[in-house]
Structure 1
């Protein structure tokens, strides 16, 4: 099926609002030895957490925050290693387990702001675009995999996704990594979309065209 695609805007941000719930913040405040978070003004929770975090050594704070978000996927030794590496590198861009990169980004930025730059500043991209099927009666709901394959035509060959996953982007084969590469995919009408990912995966300079056409083939199911 053919689609007409328009890239409307690409924003680069160092924080994605709404990721940390009030429950997250209250739990983290307790872990950072501030037990009164549950009774504090909800609008002040994030500021209180940043102050509480700054009372700890950076590597220790990183371990606490990482354990809160990733203890089900990572063991204690892995968390300690990541906490150490986060002070030196943008681990959220380099970590080999792609599905964890989004959560690592949010932890990194929480720590970056709490310590006023001690941690590297990672960036995210928010891409606003439309994908319109040329067939008037088309009603396909696009997945993250579909969206990346359709964006391929407008992306430069320098783009990291194209360089690492050329076969998945250009051939009629599954692309499971797309679920981790795209952190959020939002649409209310299945035409206009907002995509959130790491600046490392997609940034404004990656687009060679902002209006283009692309074809999406149905992936053949194995017999």
Structure 2
């Protein structure tokens, strides 16, 4: 069972998101918060697998709440949910440590897919935001590609294989099955890769994998 804490200041939105998640028998919304501070407290209390956090909330916003949740609860992944798709929001969500980013206007199935993906250790971006993330963080595409290739060249062949699969959105379990590794070994590789690439989370590592053409090579 995937345990979820849901945070949004609008009760009707919370009800709608909960209704979508309740359609999956393997997802259980264990608590609901109406603001960022409450979300932090409920995550600390329930230790869920995933927190679904709205960006715009009164008092402590979703960015600050996400940073606090990720810092204090290593086992809880965070999906940021918003009605806005501005590039600055996407970039800020990634810097806050979010594992996923979804638009409220997207396909409801993306929410279930995203929750399942991040609960298994993968990063998840809705298709409508993935290309914008690459554009937002790329800047000069040629320069970024060269920088990404230089970073990837510092990895071992096995680390590059893991990074390619991570970039393709695979979870640790799926990477392990494909490369015939136990999940604990995959986690160790991912941790080392993040450190060597100088990034905070899997989403940023996935972007480097795309920029270095590792994902295309893997496919």
Question: Of Structure 1 and Structure 2, which has the larger fraction of its residues in helix?
Answer: 2
Higher RCO structure, 1 or 2 (CA under 8 Å, sep 6+): 1
Identify whether the pair has TM-score above 0.5, normalized to the shorter chain.
no
Question: Of Structure 1 and Structure 2, which has the larger fraction of its residues in strand?
Answer: 1
Structure 1 or 2, whichever has the larger Rg, is: 1
TM-score normalised to structure 1 length: 0.30
